[in-house]
């Protein structure tokens, strides 16, 4: 599993919007994890594909975010 963090998102609504746009997207089949941590909402994106590097995952997430949001 390869994963990257988008960092802390300001509120639950924004974190859930990102999750709804990215969950299951691309051939990498993104798994988006959000949780509450001291009034912040860290967002982590992962893929089960073991051949994917962090750099590739970061680039694909950036591409999907640019086209979906």
Q: Is the pLDDT of residue 69 over 80?
A: no
31-51 pLDDT per residue, tens: 999 999 888 999 999 999 999
Name the pTM for this structure.
Answer: 0.86
Nearest to 22 by CA among 48, 46, 55: 46
Residue 14 confidence (pLDDT) above 70: yes
Tell me the C-alpha distance between 50 and 11, whole Å: 31
Residues 18, 53, 59, 47: is their CA dihedral positive or negative? negative
């Amino acid at each position: 599993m390869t994963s990257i963090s988008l960092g802390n998102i300001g509120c639950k609504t924004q974190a859930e919007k990102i999750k709804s746009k990215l969950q299951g997207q691309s051939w990498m089949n993104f798994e988006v994890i959000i949780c509450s941590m001291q009034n912040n909402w860290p967002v982590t994106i992962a893929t089960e594909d073991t051949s994917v590097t962090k750099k590739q995952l970061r680039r694909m997430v950036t591409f999907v975010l640019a086209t979906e949001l």
